[in-house]
Amino acid sequence: MLAILFTAALAAASALAPRPKTPLDYPPRVSGAAFTLIANVTSSPPNRLFNPNNWALTAERVGAGQYAIVLSPTVPGTRVGNRLAELRIGYGTGEIGMGIGIGLRDPYAKLFPPVGMQSGTFIVCHVENPTYGRPEYPVYWAIEGVSIVEENCEGITLLAQCAPLPEIVGEQELGIVKAPVACYEDVKGIDWSKW
């Protein structure tokens, strides 16, 4: 009798224990040759000024030979392969090697910072009265516990959405390597309540 009670208690406890997540617990991914980075809002201020959900990451000229990384509701920026060798986040002086990766780091097909970079999150801010050199929706890397995130900013994750491979002029001369990348067919179409 004691063995039956012990077995029943063990079965009840195992039913209540959380099960580890599997690849089926995340939005389905496919493989593509090119991708566009799409914003998915992860944190918003109480008095939300704008909604950058499903906007595309692109670059905006801010000076002679200088570009800022920005979000745009209308202009997609397509990337080739699974690495962004030179992506400037904010107005920093150095290039940061970043890429799209899934696996040990994270099960989502999203932009990740390089190993060793200080922990943080991407944010997009709304700049009032934008001008040349001062874009309206710049994207920054906010370092956890160091960066002060203003009320006009929102935390975002940049997800890879598959895109058609653009024609690359001088591909052979430039030594461009095309590599498949994990991406989503339609980020906007993901029902996040299921995941």
- Domain ranges in the chain are 32-165+177-184
Tokens coding 186: 């339609």
Residue 193 burial (CB count, 10 A) = 5
Tokens coding 24: 């089926």
Percent of the chain with pLDDT over 90: 16
Rounded CA-CA distance 121/45 in Å is 15
- Residues 150-177 have pLDDT tens digits of 888 999 999 999 988 777 676 666 666 6
φ and ψ at residue 56, rounded to 5 degrees: -100, 145
Residue 131 pairs in a beta bridge with: 134
- Residues 24-76 have pLDDT tens digits of 678 888 888 888 899 999 888 777 878 899 999 988 888 888 888 899 887 66
- E strands, the chain, where? 30-32, 34-43, 56-63, 66-72, 78-80, 83-87, 96-101, 110-112, 120-125, 139-143, 153-163, 181-183
pTM of the model: 0.73
CB distance 38 to 18 below 8 Å: no
Return the closest-CA partner of residue 48 out of 158, 145, 124, 135.
Answer: 124
- Residues 11-27 have pLDDT tens digits of 444 445 555 555 567 88
Tokens coding 7: 């077995």
